[in-house]
Structure 1
Amino acid sequence: MPAVAAAYPRPAEPAPAAPSGAPEPAAQPGPGGTGRRRPVVIQGGMGVAVSGWRLARQVSTAGHLGVVSGTAMDAVLSRVLQDGDPGGHYRRALAHFPSQAMVERVLGKYFIEGGRRPDTPYKPIPKLTLQTARAGQELGVLGNFAEVWLAKEGHDGLVGINALEKVQMATPTALFGAMLAGVDYVLMGAGIPREIPALLRALAAGTPGRISADVAGGTLRRHVEVDPVDLLGEDLPALVRPDFLAIVSVDQLASYLHRDPDIRPDGFVVERPPAGGHSAPPRGRMQLDEHGEPVYGARDEANLEKMAALGLPFWLAGAFGTPERVAEAVASGAVGVQVGTLFAMSTDSGLADGVRAQMLDRLRAGELDVRNDPRASPTGFPFKVATLEGTASQVEVYEARPRLCDLSYLRQPYEREDGEIGYRCASEPVHMYLKKGGEPEDTVGRKCLCNGLMANIGLGQHRKDGYVEDTLVTLGQDLEGAQVLIQRHPEGWTARQALSYLQEAVATSASGRLVAIA
């Protein structure tokens, strides 16, 4: 195999110029006294590589916070390498990783010059466990390093990474890899991310970083850990702690995290129920409407006066994808907004062309529908699913898929009767789930998000029996901004066009603060 550092000595792509006539974002001090700028717009961390490095780079170079997804980057890296790494981008990033021995091991196992045959299955990768095999840890570190490095290449804009609290077994290695690439912000929701500040402090100090693991029926406290010295040796590069934004749905959770300095984040993203992907279930007893979707009420909305009283910066998300809602957020005391759907549908996102084209066709026809499915995710959290033909959103497509669990990011660790740890997923074959102590009602309607989200970005598995994984697309339920953009840009819009649209009702005052335009 050729030396990695010498391969693909491609020059960095030049950073795009700022869009003509776009308002400049407000220059505000960073949260927590770190000095990092507070972006007006945070581009949401969506799906598996939908918010990929290309999209994040466009948003970052425009002066806002571009965010890459930190979910399943080990699978993404391994499959892109097996497809020949078109353009050589991932290999270009990996040439800058501090351990070339680690890089050579991964390339030797997964890289295929010219790419695999289209009908050839992708190689499996090590599954996540409480003590993931070293090969799996290395793949996770490299995947997240490469994604962040590419998003930051050739400019000094802000780049963040989004991770899910529910995917605990991947978190330490993912954030270590992102920090090695100089990530500026970490964002996390889908749970209570109380241990992330301590994890980031430990990794910045070059010491082992660990978080507690939720183990069903567990009688002992278990952890997931990454040891920087064990992976890279004593000669570690200096790491800088990124700012941490906790994604919360209500002010009570923000107040809890703020109370203790050890778990206090640097800021919050307050995410309302319409936001895409996973969302918090309604508080209290679950009730469904006539369409079978969860019913949210006043108790599920954060009190923004109490959020502002905490004294930490916050952004609003979930149906804030129009200029008017951005201005409303700023007027309420927020720094700005987090927006996902407009960027997911942009031509810069990681969605496969066919998936994006179908969504835009339905959007033009006024027929794009997004359902908040309370059963789709094996996590038990409601999950937004776009209703599209030929995808797992359709009952017949879902029922035709053989149940299996081979990527396993959403597996739940559980303690067996002998005290050992097992792993189960409500989307795996029912008889296997029941054998592992799961309840039969938990399996009803569960979809394989892991494989569906990989298919969304053109990296779906091809099985030996000829079966090809179906897509499963998630979007936010607020499509007002998307409907405006498709009228302005009938063939689709770029991330920068979405940014220009979002800022039409705000401006920077003489004092440097962002204000709503009357």
Structure 2
Amino acid sequence: MGTRLPVIIQGGMGAGVSGWRLARAVSSKGQLGVVSGTALDVLMARRLQDGDQGGHVRFALKHFPSQEIAARIIDRHFIEGGKAPDAPYKPVPMHSPRPNSELIQLTIAANFVEIFLARHGHKNPVGINYLEKLQLPHLPSIYGAMLAGVEYILMGAGIPLKIPGVLDAFVNHGAAEYPLAVAGAQDGDDFKATFDPREYLDIDLPPLTRPKFLPIIASNVLALTLMKKANGRVDGFIVEGPTAGGHNAPPRGKMQFDADGEVIYGERDAVDLEKLRALGLPFWLAGGYGSPEKLEEALENGATGVQVGTPFALTDESDLEPVSKRELLRQVREGTAQVRTDVTASPTGFPFKVAQLSNSQTNTAIYEARERICDLGFLREGYRTLTGTLDYRCAAEPEYVFLAKGGDIEQTKGRKCLCNALVANIGKPQLRAEGRLEPTLITMGNDLVGIGRFLRPDHEGYSAADVIQHLLTGVAAEAIA
């Protein structure tokens, strides 16, 4: 790809759905493959405990700058042949503003491994997607990805004003800090995460390449704010509409619903592309742009290209759990696939797109049967305690725990543990008491119902290459050369 910007950016989906296999498949075809940066420390630990099928994690760890750290990770987590089916995964500590050294090293290494594997075997750029709201792991995660040569950092679900400065600092392995959003914070409070790479990786390394930074936005105001107030260079924008999968920005103004209970978005929620073009940065349109016609429309409106998620989520190369993938493809073939916006599911309070599957938490009986527990903690909210210290709570944790931390009981209604569900979505569910496995909750965009355009009668599924080939139908050769 050289310095050419991609026409297609593959979405960074879920926790591990867009893993290194999918990103590598997309990037090797000349477009931008993107891995999800969510919970990579937990995912790598569980892959090792499952025996590291194919040896991919251990292969990547052989290239990690510190072989001492790599050896400790393998010694702690790798189980030859995989853990027993009736054994739970060993826990990984939750992140905090002052996490232990072992967790930080695991996080650095996990992000390195995912990017290393996504880049292996080709010379094209690879990106990684983070959620701004998952703030505590940001610094070691980004550093680990940069160690492996990541070329694009994508970030949504928040206002990442301080990420450009972090990227600049890490080029020379310098220390960085990141402000933490804290409910109830007062003037004079200084809640932040800090990270000095040299404290955890005590070796001399050459300077790193600064990746391009593409924040994910849903409004012109946010684009302008990032350009004016970010503490470093912003390289472009991904403009995500409300039909995209995962977390959606809430509508501006009062939240209203249609007859089917779906959130209503209006003209105030649409991005003014003319004003966006005037900013002079490249941008990609996302949310329902997974067709040749919509790609052509995006290019005609001045976009550099599109970001596409849902069509890639069901490809052969995605790591979505096979039973769920087959069921969703069956629904698509039969015309019964449904995606609904759940405004209460996410502990973050953001609307969350969910595919309707009877064996997932969209089944009320399955949701209600699950015992509330918070042991991964990525979506916890920081809050200021009565003594002025920082603590964390989650609206999906046990109600009495949430209330004891000053939470409002109304905020717990309908909340689902997305952390455990998203990890279960890729076949790594934690085993609970009485042999219960954590249930899934599959997120997809509204475009799920149109996935049939990629299916052929003689194949059960389809590949990432099939998606790319179809999307580029009719695109001028010089645009993708």
Distance 1:373 1:454 in 2: 19
Q: Does 1:247 align with 2:216?
A: yes
* 1:175 aligned residue (142, 160, 164): 142
CA contact (8 A) 1:120 1:464 kept: no
Taking structure 2 as the reference length, the TM-score comes to 0.97
Matches within 5 A, 1:303-452: 303-452=272-421
Matches within 5 A, 1:215-234: 215-219=182-186, 220-234=189-203
CA contact (8 A) 2:19 2:319 kept: yes
CA contact (8 A) 1:81 1:111 kept: yes
Structure 1 unmatched runs, 5+? 1-26, 28-34
Q: Does 1:70 align with 2:64?
A: no
Deviation at residue 101 of structure 1 after TM alignment = 1.1
Distance 2:230 2:199 in 1: 29
Q: Does 1:59 align with 2:26?
A: yes
1:164 is aligned with what amino acid? L
Q: Residue deviations 1:219-271, cap 9 Å, x none?
A: 31211122111111151342111000010011121111112463441000000
CA contact (8 A) 2:424 2:440 kept: yes
Matches within 5 A, 1:23-172: 36-172=3-139
Q: Residue deviations 1:318-359, cap 9 Å, x none?
A: 000110000000000001000000000111101111110010
* 1:469 aligned residue (424, 438, 449): 438
1:41 is aligned with what amino acid? I
Matching residue of 1:20: none
Deviation at residue 486 of structure 1 after TM alignment = 2.4
Q: Residue deviations 1:375-429, cap 9 Å, x none?
A: 0000000000100011011111111111111111101111111122211000000
Matching residue of 2:255: 286
Deviation at residue 89 of structure 1 after TM alignment = 0.1
Structure 2 unmatched runs, 5+? none
Q: CA RMSD in A?
A: 1.4
Distance 2:457 2:30 in 1: 23
CA contact (8 A) 1:251 1:306 kept: yes
CA contact (8 A) 2:335 2:449 kept: no
Distance 2:400 2:121 in 1: 51
1:390 is aligned with what amino acid? N
Matching residue of 1:482: 451
Matching residue of 1:197: 164
CA contact (8 A) 1:121 1:464 kept: no
2:455 is aligned with what amino acid? I
* Farther off after superposition, 472-481 or 277-286: 472-481
* 1:210 aligned residue (168, 177, 181): 177
CA contact (8 A) 2:94 2:376 kept: yes
CA contact (8 A) 1:363 1:486 kept: no
What is the aligned length?
479
Q: Residue deviations 1:408-463, cap 9 Å, x none?
A: 11011111111222110000000100000000110000011011111111100012
Matching residue of 1:16: none
2:353 is paired with a residue whose SS is strand
- Cα distance, 1:474–1:402 mapped onto 2, change above 3 Å: same
Deviation at residue 59 of structure 1 after TM alignment = 0.3
Distance 1:193 1:292 in 2: 31
- Cα distance, 1:290–1:471 mapped onto 2, change above 3 Å: same
Q: Does 1:501 align with 2:465?
A: no
* Farther off after superposition, 35-44 or 92-101: 35-44
Distance 2:468 2:227 in 1: 31
Q: Residue deviations 1:21-77, cap 9 Å, x none?
A: xxxxxx7xxxxxxx7330010000000010000000000000000000000000000
Taking structure 1 as the reference length, the TM-score comes to 0.90
CA contact (8 A) 1:179 1:242 kept: yes
Deviation at residue 154 of structure 1 after TM alignment = 1.9
1:201 is paired with a residue whose SS is helix
2:419 is aligned with what amino acid? C
Distance 1:66 1:459 in 2: 23
2:295 is paired with a residue whose SS is helix
Distance 1:513 1:71 in 2: 32
- Quote the sequence identity (%): 50
CA contact (8 A) 1:213 1:223 kept: yes
CA contact (8 A) 1:61 1:155 kept: yes
- Cα distance, 1:398–1:464 mapped onto 2, change above 3 Å: closer
- Cα distance, 1:139–1:303 mapped onto 2, change above 3 Å: same
Q: Does 1:491 align with 2:460?
A: yes
2:163 is aligned with what amino acid? I
* 1:295 aligned residue (246, 264, 280): 264
2:383 is paired with a residue whose SS is strand
- Cα distance, 1:194–1:488 mapped onto 2, change above 3 Å: farther
1:73 is aligned with what amino acid? L
Deviation at residue 363 of structure 1 after TM alignment = 0.7
